[in-house]
Structure 1
Amino acid sequence: MSDTGYGDFEFERRFWVRDLPRDLLDGAPALIVQSYYLADEGYAIRVRVQGTVPGLVVGAQDDELALLDRHAEAIDFCAITVKGPMVGGTRYEAERELDPAMGLELVRRGGARVAKTRHSVWLGDDGWVIDTFAAGNAPLLVAEVERGGPVTDLVVPDFVVTEVTDDPRFSNDALARHPYGAWAGAFEAELATSGPRFLQGLGHNHLPGEAHD
Structure 2
Amino acid sequence: MGGLGDIGGTSDFQFARRFFCRELPDEFDDGDAPTLIVQSYFVHEDDYALRIRLQTRAVRVPMSAGLDPKAVLERYRDDFREATLTVKGPSRGGTRYEAQRSIDSRVAAEIMLRGGDLIIKNRTSVWIGADGWNIDVFGGANAPLVIAEAERSTPVTNLIIPRFCITEITDQSRFSNDSLSWRPFSQWGSEFERELRETGPQFQQVFGTNTLE
TM-score by length of 2: 0.92
Partner of 1:211: none
Question: Closer, same or farther in 2 for the Cα pair 1:56/1:92, shift >3 Å?
Answer: same
Distance (Å, rounded) in 2 between the aligned partners of 1:172 and 1:123: 23
| SS of residue in 2 equivalent to 1:33 | strand
Structure 2 unaligned spans of 5+: 1-7
RMSD (Å), alpha carbons: 1.6
Partner of 2:24: 20
CA positional deviation for 1:25: 2.1
CA positional deviation for 1:105: 0.9
Distance (Å, rounded) in 1 between the aligned partners of 2:86 and 2:23: 30
Extract structure 1 runs of 4+ deviating beyond 4 A: 4-7
Equivalent residue letter for 2:192: F
Equivalent residue letter for 1:194: T
Distance (Å, rounded) in 1 between the aligned partners of 2:77 and 2:61: 14
Q: Give the count of matched residue pairs.
A: 205
Partner of 2:4: none
Structure 1 unaligned spans of 5+: 209-213
Deviations 1:27-60 (A, max 9, x none): 2111101111000011000001111145431111
Check the 8 A contact 1:128/1:144 in 2, yes or no.
Answer: yes
- Find out whether 1:127 has 2:132 as its counterpart: yes
> Identity of counterpart residues, as a percentage?
47
The aligned runs of 1:90-129 (5 Å cut-off) are 90-129=95-134
Partner of 2:145: 140
Check the 8 A contact 2:36/2:60 in 1, yes or no.
Answer: no
Check the 8 A contact 1:15/1:142 in 2, yes or no.
Answer: yes
The aligned runs of 1:62-101 (5 Å cut-off) are 62-101=67-106
TM-score by length of 1: 0.92
Equivalent residue letter for 1:28: A
Distance (Å, rounded) in 2 between the aligned partners of 1:5 and 1:123: 17
- Find out whether 1:160 has 2:174 as its counterpart: no
